[in-house]
């Protein structure tokens, strides 16, 4: 199991940078809080893309996880990291990203501050073989059935709860086909979010 020992910004409880540490130190010391960007990729049928983590990963190998997720490079902001990780992990760039929410993940192995974005996308995907063993779109019913059975990462199960709670604020059109986000595409969702401001 070989992992690049990247350098991460370490942040305080207000997400302000207070230092740096290598990946190897952060994964094993929950006191070293670092930043992560997630992207939830939804297709036109309302299915959510999940990635099966490579069997060579140091954390949760071989489990299904958030569409896109990665650590921020030193000095990088969440949106820039989300765009970079989309290109690196699934070969997608130039797609509008909509910020959903901030969250925290804390466990015995690591501590992360997370920003989650939404992308609506139906184009081609190219899984990075160093990161991902498989990509597949899942229905909400399939995800709910898999929660708690060991196929999904605990991080994604937490993300799913947050996303379901977020959907309660922005319910889908009851006359539209099954969907995981409001409206039929990101432009509709952006307009609904803008109307609230």
Please state, in angstroms and rounded to a whole number, the distance separating the CA atoms of residues 20 and 32. 9
In a domain, 100, yes or no: yes
Query: Could you tell me the residue range of the domain that residue 166 belongs to?
Result: 7-196
Give the 3-state secondary structure of residue 10.
strand
Q: Provide the pLDDT for residue 1.
A: 37
Low-confidence ranges of the chain (pLDDT < 70): 1-4, 170-197
In a domain, 64, yes or no: yes
Q: Provide the pLDDT for residue 119.
A: 94
Q: Provide the pLDDT for residue 172.
A: 59
In a domain, 41, yes or no: yes
Could you report the per-residue pLDDT of 87-144, keeping only the tens digit for each?
A: 999 999 999 999 999 999 998 888 999 999 999 999 999 999 999 999 999 999 999 9
CATH number of the domain that residue 122 is part of: 3.90.79.10
**DSSP H stretches of helix in 91-153:** 140-146
Q: What are the contacts of 92-96 at 24+ separation with CB within 8 A?
A: 92/41, 92/119, 92/121, 92/123, 92/125, 95/119, 95/120, 95/121, 96/120, 96/186, 96/187, 96/190
Q: Provide the pLDDT for residue 196.
A: 45
Give the 3-state secondary structure of residue 129.
coil
Q: Provide the pLDDT for residue 186.
A: 47
Question: Could you give the number of structural domains in the chain?
Answer: 1
- Give, as one character, the DSSP assignment of residue 73: P
DSSP sequence for 137-175 = EE-HHHHHHHTTTTSB-HHHHHHHHHHHHHHHHSPPPTT
In a domain, 189, yes or no: yes
Q: Provide the pLDDT for residue 95.
A: 93
As given in the structure block, the two tokens for residue 197 are 């401001």
In a domain, 130, yes or no: yes
Q: Provide the pLDDT for residue 79.
A: 97
In a domain, 27, yes or no: yes
């Amino acid at each position: 199991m070989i992992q690049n020992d990247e350098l991460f910004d370490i942040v305080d409880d207000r997400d302000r940078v207070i230092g740096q540490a290598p990946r190897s130190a952060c994964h094993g010391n929950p006191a070293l809080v670092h930043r992560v960007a997630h992207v939830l990729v939804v297709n036109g049928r309302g299915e959510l893309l999940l990635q099966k983590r490579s069997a060579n990963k140091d954390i949760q190998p071989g489990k299904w996880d958030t569409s896109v997720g990665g650590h921020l490079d030193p000095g990088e902001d969440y949106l820039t990291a989300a765009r970079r990780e989309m290109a690196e992990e699934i070969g997608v760039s130039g797609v509008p990203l909509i910020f959903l929410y901030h969250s925290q993940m804390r466990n015995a192995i690591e501590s992360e501050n997370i920003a989650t974005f939404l992308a609506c996308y139906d184009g081609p995907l190219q899984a990075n073989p160093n990161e991902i063993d498989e990509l597949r779109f899942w229905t909400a019913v399939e995800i709910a059935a898999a929660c708690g059975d060991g196929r999904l990462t605990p991080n994604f199960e937490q993300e799913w709860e947050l996303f379901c709670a977020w959907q309660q604020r922005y319910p889908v059109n009851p006359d539209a086909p099954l969907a995981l986000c409001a409206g039929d595409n990101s432009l509709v969702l952006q307009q609904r979010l803008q109307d609230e401001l």
